């Protein structure tokens, strides 16, 4: 069993499914609200590791879908500044186990890192918001 600090958007369907998979695998999940956590650039940056900046973002965020934020044009500093101003831009979930940080939920990678056995063969994309971009619940900041 592993203790996982799991930063989520409360009410997110996929974050709920992700936490369920982790708990069913025997892990202890400490859920925290990603949107109300008082982030700093120094606190947020470790979650992204060596990923390219474009992979740091929640592609379902309203600012990205509308074209207000074009992630392929951003450098690291600007990306962090935008995320601090609008946490909906942060790809979810953010997970921390001890001093190891991670972003996103790829079941195979999570299984190799923490263990999800048995992984359901029917797991679908657990990162893209399944709701329509026009639904207020997915776009709200709280």
Report, as residue numbers or ranges, the catalytic residues.
12
- What are residue 5's phi and psi, to 5 degrees? -85, 120
Tell me the three-class secondary structure of 56-92, residue by residue: HECCCCHHHHCCCCCHHHCCHHHHHHHHHHCHHHECC
Q: In the sheet where 3-8 sits, what is the strand order?
A: 28-33, 3-8, 94-97, 100-103
């Amino acid at each position: 069993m592993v203790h996982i600090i799991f930063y989520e958007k409360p009410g997110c369907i996929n974050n709920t499914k992700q936490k369920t998979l982790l708990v069913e695998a025997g892990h202890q999940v400490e859920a925290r609200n990603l949107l109300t956590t008082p982030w700093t650039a120094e606190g947020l940056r470790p979650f992204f590791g060596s990923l390219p900046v474009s992979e740091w973002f929640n592609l379902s965020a309203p600012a990205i879908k509308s074209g207000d934020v074009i992630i392929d044009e951003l450098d690291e500093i600007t990306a962090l500044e935008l995320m601090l101003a609008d946490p909906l831009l942060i790809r979810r979930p953010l997970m921390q186990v001890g001093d190891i940080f991670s972003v996103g939920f790829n079941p195979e990678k999570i299984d190799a890192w923490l263990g999800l056995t048995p992984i359901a063969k029917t797991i679908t994309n657990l990162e893209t918001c399944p709701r329509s971009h026009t639904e207020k619940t997915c776009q709200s900041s709280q």
